[in-house]
Structure 1
Amino acid sequence: MASRGPPLSKLLLGFVFFLAFDFFVPHVLAVVESCGAEQTDACINKKKALTLKIIAIACILLTSMIGVCLPLVTRSVAALSPQRSLFVIVKSFASGIILATGFMHVLPDSFDMLTSTCLDDDPWHKFPFTGFVAMLSAIVTLMVDSLTTSFYSKKQSPGVVLPESAGGAAAGDQEMGAVAASGGHSHFHGHGHHHGSKLELEGTQLLRYRVIAMVLEIGIIVHSVVIGLSLGASNNTCTIKGLVAALCFHQLFEGMGLGGCILQAEFKLIKKAAMAFFFSVTTPFGIALGIALSTTYRDDSPRALITEGLLNACSAGLLVYMALVDLLAADFMGPKLQGNIRLQIKSYAAVLLGAGGMSLMAKWA
């Protein structure tokens, strides 16, 4: 019988969030003094900024929900099923969005924060902490990706377990379905052996989709909280207006990328709903937290700059790794795209379009 639960992934996720909140958040929430001069810009208007931030919460929540749920609710549409070419093109576009988010938004923000004049020269201006932490984050993501996949693979029992999508009611409860151990079909021959091998391959791929979806959500949630916190703490109406438009675009298409991964992972309904919910509410939660802490939180204070800079660097490394390795490389080096040059070209165009659109957003956010 296949493993019903993902104990290691839950421990890993819990450990990551425990470290992030136990080490970073108390420093962010502390009352700190700003190292910058008081802002006298005409754009600074606390009352108007609060109204814009409330509008931002509603708009970003709505676009996030639409983005992440769109791939899930359109599963019944034949043209958008994961087996169709259109799904591959849309997923490539969303992967370009995620890649550009890491390179063009999160990573530059981390460089700016950790090289700010508000920080001491030693050590912050003498060592490239952003690149170092992003590199470590990518390596740790690889480790989590690899170890979690290995753990789940070894937990599968011998015998063929039908995938959820094809096995009927009995297979519906098998989270890791469609995995066949090598000893479980050694006595089959001919068509039976071929069928067992096919199920084993499908099960391994399904397992990868599930690990990818969970790890990708971690990276998205981390940088979403940081973005929301910064927006919520700002009283610059000129900045907020541009940020709201950029974040709505960002959340819509980043949600589509995550939603496509969740769809391919074939989680049960409750897990799909939970992952969609956490993605949708994370940025609005960050904005609300920033509003609540706006009297004590200063985004240009040394402590806040260090905390946000390190979190952004971690998130950038994770997002770049996931976009390049688990999303783009996995699809473009897979049999579907390798066997169809025309579809490859269309998918490359979609990647460039998504990455280009999100890069353009860097002008405002």
Structure 2
Amino acid sequence: MSSDPARAALLFCLLLCFTFAFAQPEATPAPAAGTCTGSAVGGKCHNVPKALRLKLIAIPTILMASMAGVCLPLFSRSVPALRPDSNLFIVVKAFASGVILGTGYMHVLPDSFNDLTSPCLPQKPWQEFPFTTFVAMLAAVFTLLVDSLMLTFYNRRRKGSAAVAHHGHDDSPPPMHAGHCHGHGAGIVVVETQTVEASKKQLLRNRVIVQVLELGIVVHSVVIGLGMGASQNVCTIRPLVAALSFHQLFEGMGLGGCILQAEYGARMKSVLVFFFSTTTPFGVALGLALTRVYSDSSPTALVVVGLLNAASAGLLHYMALVDLLAADFMGPKLQGSVRLQLVSFLAVLLGAGGMSIMAKWA
């Protein structure tokens, strides 16, 4: 997959275009008094110099937390207890999957609801139709479509390669030898071939999971970083620094575990780690640069951010429930041990519960 880094870079560029599109100042009708307000100006919480210092602290702090979280699973192969086939890795992955699930339900989806039901938006159509759940549903179905089509294309390519290989060989039957050794050997070859094909299919699925999951996380990371960078409210920024650091740490662990199972080369791993680690700090820096022109209460910003968050939520819900949790809990490893299932289930609850608690601040 030599085009993977280019594809990731293209997605990041498209995301930047979206960001700059809704960051431009616009002339909008004044909302009714008391119904639509942006960031509070004045009061003890509005302190521009102190907010700037907190943002400058937040950028390296969140960057280091993100890198630590996503890189930790990548170095786990050197620890026997944390190898992908170990029980401990399964439990840690379940915890990380719970984090991703909690991120979608407790962080991204409520943000979208708040944006798309804001009094700053017109009554029609935003107050009369549940756009958040509609877009989240479409995003989940679209993710299913991508997941399915990727496997379909792989199966067709595999069958085509097998047909070419078959025609390239002599069609005459192999010579028969005395005894039963030949028959047993052929059976072993067939089983080994099926095992290799199953491994290749699972590897492809893991790579699809990583790319789609990274896209959903990156979208939300840029959006939340942009909002934090544009804010001048120190009462909001101060708890956000700690909350986002822990958020990125645990979310990075989930993504890092998926990257590990995708078995990418060093270059692609570096690209994925770079994008995950830098998107939230980049969003903060971008919000800092656009403080004078970006308004989180402008209709364009609310609509674009709300729709992006809704799509990201649907994507994260599907990936967490279908591709991560369901695949593991219905797989042979967990199905063979009730104790491991219960421990993994508790790990999921811990991950989702931790992110639910963090939703109070971030």
Corresponding residue to 1:358 among 347, 351, 355: 355
Partner residue, 2:181: none
1:25 and 1:282 map into 2 onto residues whose CA distance is 12
SS at match of 1:122: coil
1:87 and 1:183 map into 2 onto residues whose CA distance is 43
Q: Which amino acid aligns with 2:278?
A: V
Tell me if structure 1 keeps the 8 A contact 2:23–2:295.
Answer: no
1:54 and 1:183 map into 2 onto residues whose CA distance is 64
Partner residue, 2:89: 87
- How many angstroms does 1:14 deviate by? 7.1
Q: Which amino acid aligns with 2:21?
A: H
Q: Structure 1 17/57 Cα, relative in aligned 2: closer, same or farther at 3 Å? A: closer
2:234 and 2:62 map into 1 onto residues whose CA distance is 17
Equivalent residue runs for 1:103-142 within 5 Å: 103-142=105-144
Corresponding residue to 1:314 among 299, 311, 315: 311
2:246 and 2:15 map into 1 onto residues whose CA distance is 27
- How many angstroms does 1:189 deviate by? 1.7
- How many angstroms does 1:40 deviate by? 2.4
- How many angstroms does 1:73 deviate by? 1.3
The gaps in structure 2 that reach 5 residues or longer are 31-35, 175-184
Equivalent residue runs for 1:1-365 within 5 Å: 5=2, 20-22=15-17, 24-32=18-26, 35-36=36-37, 39-156=41-158, 158=161, 189-365=186-362
- How many angstroms does 1:356 deviate by? 0.3
Tell me if structure 2 keeps the 8 A contact 1:113–1:309.
Answer: yes
1:30 and 1:252 map into 2 onto residues whose CA distance is 31
More deviation, 148-157/290-299: 148-157
Residues 221-264 of structure 1: per-residue CA shift (max 9 Å, x gap): 11100010000001111111111111111100110100000000
How many residues of Structure 1 are paired with residues of Structure 2 in the alignment?
338
2:321 and 2:167 map into 1 onto residues whose CA distance is 34
Tell me if structure 2 keeps the 8 A contact 1:32–1:298.
Answer: no
Q: Structure 1 40/183 Cα, relative in aligned 2: closer, same or farther at 3 Å? A: farther
Tell me if structure 2 keeps the 8 A contact 1:110–1:309.
Answer: yes
- How many angstroms does 1:129 deviate by? 0.6
TM-score w.r.t. structure 1 length?
Answer: 0.87
1:20 and 1:139 map into 2 onto residues whose CA distance is 21
Tell me if structure 2 keeps the 8 A contact 1:32–1:297.
Answer: no
1:17 and 1:311 map into 2 onto residues whose CA distance is 14
- How many angstroms does 1:183 deviate by? 9.7
TM-score w.r.t. structure 2 length?
Answer: 0.87
Q: Structure 1 184/200 Cα, relative in aligned 2: closer, same or farther at 3 Å? A: farther
Q: Which amino acid aligns with 1:287?
A: V
- How many angstroms does 1:363 deviate by? 1.0
Higher relative contact order (CA 8 A, sep 6+): 2
- How many angstroms does 1:140 deviate by? 1.0
2:355 and 2:266 map into 1 onto residues whose CA distance is 31
Alpha carbon RMSD of aligned pairs, Å? 2.4
The gaps in structure 1 that reach 5 residues or longer are 160-180
Tell me if structure 2 keeps the 8 A contact 1:45–1:235.
Answer: yes
